[in-house]
């Protein structure tokens, strides 16, 4: 059921011009955050990105290349809360 809901959300986002991709996390081998804080060290080679290299690395790398929504679009979307 969650996958069906997500597929509908992705189709909705794509219908207004968003590039989407469904990533099956069960197919990947990854450990998740190890709290190494390498991503937090200013000037470090991993600053701002995860230093752990595993099956999630290509997904994170690809997502960093995706444009973020404009702040005005984000405000208008977040302002619409179920009421």
Question: Would you kindly state where each structural domain of the chain is located, as residue ranges?
Answer: 31-63
Do 21 and 11 meet the contact criterion of CB atoms below 8 Å apart? no
Q: How far apart are CA 31 and CA 50, in angstroms?
A: 12
Query: Tens digit of pLDDT for each residue in 12-58?
Result: 999 999 989 898 889 999 988 999 999 999 999 999 989 999 999 99
Examine the pLDDT at 75 and tell me if it is beyond 70: no
How many residues does this entry show for the chain?
A: 83
Sign of CA dihedral 32, 33, 36, 40: positive
Look at residue 69 in the predicted model and tell me its pLDDT. Answer: 58
pLDDT band at 7; cut points 50, 70, 90: very high
H helical segments located in the chain: 2-15, 57-64, 71-79
Look at residue 78 in the predicted model and tell me its pLDDT. Answer: 41
* Entry pTM: 0.58
Do 57 and 63 meet the contact criterion of CB atoms below 8 Å apart? no
């Amino acid at each position: 059921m969650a996958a069906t809901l997500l597929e509908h959300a992705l189709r909705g986002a794509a219908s207004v011009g968003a590039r989407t991709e469904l990533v099956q996390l069960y197919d990947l081998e990854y450990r998740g955050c190890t709290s190494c804080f390498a991503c937090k060290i200013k000037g470090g080679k991993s600053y701002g990105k995860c230093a752990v290299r595993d099956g999630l690395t290509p997904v994170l790398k690809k997502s960093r290349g995706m444009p973020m929504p404009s702040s005005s679009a984000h405000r208008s979307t977040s302002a619409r809360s179920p009421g």
